[in-house]
Structures are given as C-alpha cells and as structure tokens.
C-alpha cells in the first residue's frame, strides 16, 4: 500500500514540477480548429507520469522483492514508446518513422509474451495478430486523448478493476500490483489533467498507456491471471468510440487519417459545453455496467463472448445516436 501511495504522490509532484518547466520553455499545445481546449496548455505530461511509474516499480522491487522479468520488459517497452512520443512532441516525427517504431516494439512484445504459450508457425501467426492488437491499442488511446481527464481516467478505472478482479481470482500478487502502480501514476497525473486541465499527456503518455494496457491483457491471458475478455469489456468505451468512428469515416469516404473532432466523447463535450460530464459519465458507465459484466466473465467464463456482446450493444446503440450531434 505504501509504495502505491508514494507512486501517486511522486507522480503528482513530478507532474507539477514538469508543468512549471514546460511553461517556462513554452512547451505548449496551442488550440486550433480541431482542439477541444481554448487556451495554450503545456503538453508532455506523459514523461513525469511514466518515469514515476518506473520509479514506483523500482520501489516495489525493493519493498516486496524482485519483479519477474516480464514486468520489467513491459515497463521498458513503455519507456521506449515514451521517448518516441517525446521526440514527436518536440520535433514532429513523420508518420512513417512513428509507425516503424511502434511496429517494431509491438512485434517484439507480442512474440515475447506469446513465446511461453505458442511455438513455430502458431507463434508467427499469433505474433502478427498480437502486434496488430498492440498497434491498434496504442493508436486508439492516442485518438481518445482529446478532452481533459478522459485518458487518465480510463486507465485508472480499467487497471483498478483488473487488479480487483485478478486478486479476487487468486492471481499472483505481481499482476494486480503492476495494474495498481499504473493506476496510481495516472491518478497523480490526473491531479493536473482534471477539467479544466493544466497539463496534457501528449503522445509521450497516451501511446505508452495504450500499449501497456494491451500488454497487460495479453499477459493476463497467457499466465491465466485475468481473462482477456475482461479487458475487452473494461476498455469497451474507448474501443467502441475509436473503432466505430474510424470505420464510419472510412465508409463515408472521409480522409480518415487526418485529425478530426468526430469522436463520440468530443461530440458529447461540445453538446454539454464541458468535459466534466463526459468524464463522470465514463465513471458511471464503468461502475454500473462494464465492471459487473467483467466480473461475471471472470467468475463464469463459459458465456464470456455473449457477455462481451452484451456489454457492447448499448454502446453501439449510443454511438448511432451521438453521431447525430454536432
């Protein structure tokens, strides 16, 4: 418990210090016609967030004993993605360079995680499919980091729920602890990102966060710590919004690779005139609908796929209605 609290405090303190430095160095995200904010706001908060998370892992290693290798590898991959994000935030990397870095790390992580479970041709096929999932997750999270608080809040809700579900199912202590450390670091960042935000994650935070959540889903399935279908449910709000919006833009002939303001969360924030109701709605959705269904999947895996479909049906119906908003 103490390492989690220290990680939270360290993240909040580090993000506060970074905020002052970013203001002095003019590391600002300036509003444009696609922005959901109205004033220049420091970005790059993912750096102190991820560094605090890594230091929290080291602290837990001292406090509770060494981590299994796999958790260190996942953490290092997240830090490498953070560095790519820093370079992109500061210098504007080309799409090709970013995707090359993302792809290499995704392929490595998918093969690494699945190698204890698959071999030969099955490992090759699984590695390719796993890399696609990791790539979509990290890009998806970047797409969804468009209003104050939402990306950090989704990570906190998903990781907190995953820790509770895995602990209740008798998982080894490292898996829920890793989830809670990630949630704690994001909670410290949320102090500065809560509406109205004073600090943004930037690519240095959103991309690694999406990657880490997908890696945790893979790890939970491979090691039997947590049913991966639980993660599909816990992340349903982000998965539905990002996937629906991308498919709809492709089918309607829009230039889907260009930035836009057409996600459901963006439409809702404009409709309500504030980011806060969207964030609170995400909390309620997870508490009363998604978490209970994920719990059912974990204790009653037989109809798991049916419960996943049940989780997504009202979200898809909601997307159809929200699309009519400006």
**Regarding predicted confidence, which is higher, 93 or 272?**
272
Tokens in use for 316? 């898809």
Q: Is the pLDDT of residue 206 over 70?
A: yes
| Range scoring the smallest mean pLDDT among 70-74, 181-185, 222-226 | 222-226
Specify whether the CB–CB gap between 228 and 133 falls below 8 A: no
Intra-chain end-to-end CA distance of the chain, in Å:
45
Asked whether residue 326 carries a pLDDT value surpassing 70, the answer given is: no
pLDDT tens string 117-167:
888 889 999 999 999 999 999 999 999 999 999 999 999 999 999 999 998
Taking only Cα atoms into account, the Rg of the chain, rounded to an integer number of angstroms, comes to 19
Average pLDDT rounded to a whole number, residues 180-207 = 96
Best CA proximity match to 56, nearest among 69, 43, 75: 75
- 158, with CB counted inside 10 A (0-12, 13-18, 19+), is buried
Query: Of all residues in the chain, what percent carry a pLDDT higher than 90?
Result: 80
CA–CA separation, 217 vs 110, rounded Å?
A: 11
Q: Which two tokens stand for residue 118?
A: 């698959």
pLDDT at 171: 67
Give the span between the Cα atoms of 285 and 289, in whole angstroms: 6
State yes or no: pLDDT of 36 exceeds 80: no
Contact status, residue 174 vs residue 187, Cβ threshold 8 Å: no
Q: What angle do CA 294, 296, 301 make, to 5 degrees?
A: 95
What percentage of the chain exceeds 70 in pLDDT? Answer: 98
How many whole angstroms separate alpha carbon 117 and alpha carbon 111? 10
**CA 283, 284, 289, 293 torsion-angle sign:** positive
Omega within 30 of 0 (cis) for the link into 171: no
How deeply is 291 buried, as exposed, middle or buried, from its count of CB atoms within 10 A (0-12, 13-18, 19+)?
Answer: buried
Q: Which of 25, 35, 243 is nearest to 141 (CA)?
A: 243
Read off the DSSP letter of residue 195.
S
Q: CB burial class (10 A; 0-12, 13-18, 19+) of residue 222? A: middle
Whose tokens are 């809700």? That residue is 157
Separation between Cα atoms, residue 120 and residue 186, nearest integer Å: 38
């Amino acid at each position: 418990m103490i390492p989690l609290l220290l990680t939270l405090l360290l993240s909040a303190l580090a993000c506060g210090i970074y905020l002052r430095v970013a203001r002095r160095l003019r590391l600002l995200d300036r509003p444009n016609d696609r922005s959901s904010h109205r004033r220049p706001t420091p970005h790059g908060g993912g750096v102190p967030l991820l560094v605090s998370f890594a230091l929290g892992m080291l602290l837990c290693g001292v406090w509770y004993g060494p981590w299994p290798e796999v958790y260190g590898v996942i953490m290092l991959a997240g830090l490498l993605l953070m560095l790519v994000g820093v370079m992109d935030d500061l210098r504007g990397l080309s799409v090709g360079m970013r995707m090359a870095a993302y792809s290499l790390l995704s392929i490595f992580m998918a093969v690494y995680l699945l190698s204890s479970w698959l071999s030969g041709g099955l490992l090759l096929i699984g590695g390719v499919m796993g890399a696609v999932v990791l790539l979509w997750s990290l890009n998806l999270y970047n797409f969804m980091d468009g209003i104050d608080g939402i990306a950090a809040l989704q990570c906190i809700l998903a990781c907190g729920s995953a820790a509770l579900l895995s602990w209740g199912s008798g998982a080894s202590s490292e898996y829920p602890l890793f989830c809670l450390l990630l949630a704690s670091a994001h909670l410290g960042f949320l102090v500065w990102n809560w509406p109205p935000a004073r600090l943004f994650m930037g690519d240095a935070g959103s991309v690694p966060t999406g990657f880490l959540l997908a890696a945790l889903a893979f790890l939970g399935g491979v090691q039997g710590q947590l049913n991966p279908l639980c993660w599909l449910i816990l992340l349903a709000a982000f998965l539905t919004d990002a996937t629906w919006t991308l498919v709809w833009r492709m089918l309607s002939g829009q230039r889907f690779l260009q930035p836009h303001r057409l996600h459901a969360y963006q439409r809702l924030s404009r409709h309500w005139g504030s980011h806060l109701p969207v964030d609170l709605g995400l909390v309620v959705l997870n508490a009363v609908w998604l978490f209970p269904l994920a719990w059912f999947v974990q204790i009653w895996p037989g109809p798991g796929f049916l419960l996943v479909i049940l989780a997504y049906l009202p979200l898809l119906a909601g997307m159809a209605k929200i699309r009519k908003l400006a």
